[in-house]
Structure 1
Amino acid sequence: MSPKHVVKFRKRKSQGEGGRDQKCEEPHESPKRVKQELYEKEPAHQESGNRQAMNPMAKGPLHPNKQDKVRNPEEEDVIEVKYVGAGKSRKRTYSNIQDRVEKQHNEKCRSPDVTPDMEQEIMNALGPGPQEDILSSAFKLNITRGDMQTLRESQWLNDDIINFYMNLLSHRSKSPGYASLHTFNTFFYTKLKCGGYRSVKKWTRAVNIFEKDIVLVPVHLHVHWSLVVIDQRKKTVVYWDSMGLKRTDVLGLIFQYLQEESKAKRNIDLDPSEWKQYCMSAEEIPLQLNMNDCGVFTCKYADYISRGQPINFSQQHVPLFRKKMVWEILHKRLL
């Protein structure tokens, strides 16, 4: 940001767990300017605690020109696959197996999960009509047509859509076979950052988060959504960002919250040496290739992680994800 660039402040309205409206000041810049700056910023090695912006369109295997590049098997590691009972073995490169897994996933994503009747429901919800019409109600949230239309292609998801979806994940986790889950409201991180632990202490008065396997924290930074995943089975706090950004400051604040929450609710001190904090790198996770889909990526990271599934989707699956999310919110259940 140039010295002459003026940063304005806006009031971001948030609702605490107790039902009172809270206000917190956040620096506000032009959304397109902020997103464009993130894309134009080149990857750089930075000291711990500094923000690092990754450009998913610039270098590495995620660049569109490199994704379709013909691989040279002689330059790849080769593994030997033995077929039980056949007495034969066959050599395959890692990329062969990776391509096969991705192909299977793509076929599954293209399967007729959205029927013609479902498609009609989705079109009706995204179509014209009074913006204040309530299309779905649950979890003390009302989703209006205006909210739902943030799930149109190229639109940015709002807080209500993400909060509703996170609640659907929490509800699903109560079924057998799923890891126990707690999801925080999208305003939790903003409130914690502005007011410290005391401002969010009562948010967990009805739940012991240390009894959950996974805790999900959606994070809103200016005009960008990301996710923090606390896995208490592995004692890890991990930052997931669909633009490849690394925010160790976010991790530090969340872990500090865990320490204070543990001391206040259990009278137990968390030993930082027993916990691992890290940011997922751009090479490890799927990235958005535009400036619009961070909210969808945040929701789908949470979905796959809560199911214990490999996160092997990509940008091409987002249009289908958006449609499914409309139907899921309408019917208050996940597909």
Structure 2
Amino acid sequence: MNAYIYCLNDDKRLNIRAGGRAFLADTFAGPFLSYKGSNSEWIVTRAKQYHKHDMLFFPINIPHTHWYLCVINARLRTIQILDSLGPSNNDRLELKQTIRGLEHYLDMAAHDMGPQETKWKDYRVTTWPWSEEVKSAIQKDTGSCGLFTLKFMECWTGFALRPKFAQQDIDHFRLKLAVILVNSHLNKIKESPGSRSKEDDAKPDNLGEDQHVDIDSDGITPTL
């Protein structure tokens, strides 16, 4: 998921939307916010960046189960939830933990900032109302929640999905995603899927199941 999020962040057209300036967080942000530990200084530095945006997009994970999107909309002072399965019957504990941590670090960052440095008139996000933006389930399978979350991040304007999409669009997106990542200029080992160089043909094929490819903000690097 993070590979595509970094590609979205690289597209500057997605930074400014109808709802204002957007910050697209990776999947590590929520757990970091929920944990008040040794990385607090780094998180406060990141929170200062949050203050300069109108909307914060956080992928939220229900461990081993499901992904959905939370948008902290500072202009509307609303927590917007985009869940491909529609409104949830559980209490979204993982989201509550993220919001509590976010408020904590926004407050810490604000103490080091002047009033002119923040776009936020109110950062008591734990008091903001929640809004379920997807009124009924649009996911029709059991394995596309992460892909839906990525498209929510790409298409949510702050007020609506533009364009709207359905399960068949996500199925198509699944097929395109690998090509998008391989063709991205962030990819430092740029080759088309399935292609091999002459050097590759001269080497034993030792890419096993234990090797995979990770992409980060500096590009793609193989990880054993």
TM-score of the alignment, normalized to the shorter chain, above 0.5: yes
Aligned ranges for residues 141-290 of structure 1 at < 5 Å? 162-173=1-12, 178=17, 179-193=20-34, 195-196=35-36, 199-203=39-43, 205=45, 208-223=49-64, 224-244=66-86, 245-246=88-89, 247-267=91-111, 270-271=123-124, 275-283=128-136, 287-290=138-141
**Whole-angstrom distance in 1 between the partners of 2:130 and 2:41:** 22
Structure 1: which 5+ runs fail to align? 1-161
Contact 1:226 1:294 (C-alpha < 8 Å) held by counterparts: yes
Deviation at 1:190, TM superposition (A): 2.8
Which of 149, 152, 166 matches 1:298?
Answer: 149
Q: Could you report, residue by residue, the CA deviation over 1:27-46 in whole angstroms, capped at 9, with x for unpaired residues?
A: xxxxxxxxxxxxxxxxxxxx
**Whole-angstrom distance in 1 between the partners of 2:38 and 2:60:** 19
- Paired positions, count: 169
**Whole-angstrom distance in 2 between the partners of 1:177 and 1:199:** 29
Deviation at 1:231, TM superposition (A): 1.6
1:328 aligns with 2:167: no
Q: CA RMSD for the aligned pairs?
A: 3.1
TM-score (norm 2): 0.62
**Whole-angstrom distance in 1 between the partners of 2:104 and 2:9:** 24
Deviation at 1:171, TM superposition (A): 1.9
- Aligned residue in 1 for 2:200: none
**Whole-angstrom distance in 1 between the partners of 2:26 and 2:126:** 28
**Whole-angstrom distance in 2 between the partners of 1:190 and 1:176:** 23
- Aligned residue in 1 for 2:167: 315
- Aligned residue in 2 for 1:13: none
Deviation at 1:176, TM superposition (A): 8.0
Deviation at 1:291, TM superposition (A): 0.7
Q: Which has the larger radius of gyration?
A: 1
**Whole-angstrom distance in 1 between the partners of 2:128 and 2:180:** 35
Q: Could you report, residue by residue, the CA deviation over 1:207-234 in whole angstroms, capped at 9, with x for unpaired residues?
A: 5101112211112222221111112221
Structure 2: which 5+ runs fail to align? 116-121, 186-224
Evaluate the alpha carbon distance shift between residue 197 and residue 215 of structure 1 in structure 2; reply closer, same or farther with a 3 A threshold. Answer: farther
SS at match of 1:287: coil
Aligned ranges for residues 53-68 of structure 1 at < 5 Å? none
Q: Which amino acid aligns with 1:203?
A: I
Contact 1:226 1:240 (C-alpha < 8 Å) held by counterparts: yes
SS at match of 1:219: strand
Deviation at 1:273, TM superposition (A): 8.7
**Whole-angstrom distance in 1 between the partners of 2:124 and 2:176:** 41
Contact 1:217 1:227 (C-alpha < 8 Å) held by counterparts: yes
Evaluate the alpha carbon distance shift between residue 180 and residue 235 of structure 1 in structure 2; reply closer, same or farther with a 3 A threshold. Answer: same
Greater relative contact order (CA < 8 Å, ≥ 6 in sequence): 2
Deviation at 1:235, TM superposition (A): 1.6
Evaluate the alpha carbon distance shift between residue 298 and residue 201 of structure 1 in structure 2; reply closer, same or farther with a 3 A threshold. Answer: farther
**Whole-angstrom distance in 1 between the partners of 2:141 and 2:94:** 23
**Whole-angstrom distance in 2 between the partners of 1:175 and 1:304:** 9
Aligned ranges for residues 55-94 of structure 1 at < 5 Å? none
Contact 1:301 1:311 (C-alpha < 8 Å) held by counterparts: no
**Farther-moved stretch of structure 1 (253-262 vs 199-208):** 199-208
Evaluate the alpha carbon distance shift between residue 221 and residue 172 of structure 1 in structure 2; reply closer, same or farther with a 3 A threshold. Answer: same
TM-score (norm 1): 0.43
**Whole-angstrom distance in 2 between the partners of 1:225 and 1:321:** 17
Contact 1:188 1:200 (C-alpha < 8 Å) held by counterparts: no
Deviation at 1:241, TM superposition (A): 1.8
SS at match of 1:182: strand
**Whole-angstrom distance in 2 between the partners of 1:214 and 1:239:** 13
Contact 2:44 2:106 (C-alpha < 8 Å) held by counterparts: no
**Whole-angstrom distance in 1 between the partners of 2:103 and 2:24:** 18
